[in-house]
Amino acid sequence: MGAGSITVTLDYKEYTIELFDEQLHGNEVVYDNIYQPEKGREYQPVSQTGIIVYKDGVKISSALLLAVAGATSVSTDSVCIHNDNLLTRCCNIIFSLSLPGLKLNWMTEADWATCFSIYPYKDDFITHGEVDIARIDANGKIIWQFSGADIFVNLKDDIAFEMYDNHIALTDFNGGKYTIDYDGNEIVDAVATQSQTKTANNLNESKKPWWKFW
């Protein structure tokens, strides 16, 4: 890999899957598949995600994802596997690829700016975007989107996005707090709800966000 390159490696069944930032990749790769939304094709891709699937150390498939929006880099919370499908984001697009062949199932714009992360929830997926929190079903359909008064990025001590058993806690750029349920509805008195949750977390470790156990 090239200098500064980040690689996320996943083991799934008999396969090893590598994801990396192609623009930082030190070795030339000839990809079996290249996927890019029609929207923005006239522009130079902002981010490029390379994916290679190996079996017993031998490359069996590869794909390159291209997108134009807010730049992203590969990270552990930008990819998940569900029902023999690999889901990851590049810029603001969620891509679903079949395993092990990396054939495109669908691609969906989860946020008009940037998508930071994706998490499985039941048979769907929750995405943390710069502007929107979204729930997307297994076919790539957006079930709902939720936006706040500002972007869901926080530069202070507060965490911008946390998933709990029955709600999602959000903090926007200006420190505004929101609590939504998994149907995308804002819970009344969100600040009080989050305060109570944080107090409960301090008293009972089991109240931590479920995804932090993994």
Residue span of the structural domain in which 209 resides: 149-214
Residue 20 in domain:
no
**Residue 209 belongs to some domain of the structure:** yes
* 68-82, 117-131, 188-202, range with the lowest pLDDT: 188-202
Per-residue pLDDT band at 132 (split at 50, 70, 90):
very high
- Angstrom distance (rounded) from CA 192 to CA 200: 12
Give the residue among 33, 103, 99 at the shortest CA–CA distance from 66. Answer: 33
CA torsion 154→3→65→108, rounded to 10°? -10
Asked if residue 176 is part of any domain, the answer here is yes
Integer Cα distance of 43 and 189 in angstroms: 44
| Domain-embedded: residue 70 | no
Task: Give the pLDDT of residue 92.
Answer: 97
What pLDDT, on a 0 to 100 scale, did the predictor assign at position 155? 81
Q: Which two tokens stand for residue 86?
A: 């690999």
Q: Is the residue at 2 inside a domain?
A: no
Higher pLDDT, 185 or 209: 185
Question: What's the domain count of the chain?
Answer: 1
Specify the range with the lowest mean pLDDT, choosing from 37-41, 164-168, 201-205: 201-205
The tens digit of pLDDT for each residue in 148-202 reads 999 999 887 779 999 999 999 999 999 999 999 999 999 976 454 455 454 444 4
Establish if 155 belongs to a structural domain.
yes
Q: What is the largest CA-CA distance in the chain?
A: 54
Q: What are phi and psi of 213, to 5 degrees?
A: -75, -15
C-beta atoms surrounding 145 within 10 Å:
17
> Would you say residue 189 lies in a domain?
yes
pTM assigned to the model: 0.84
Which position has the higher pLDDT, 132 or 26?
132
Residue 104: name the closest of 23, 36, 184 by CA. 36
Q: Does residue 116 sit within a domain?
A: no
Query: Would you say residue 6 has pLDDT above 90?
Result: no
> Which of 98, 131, 95 lies closest to 116, judged by CA?
131
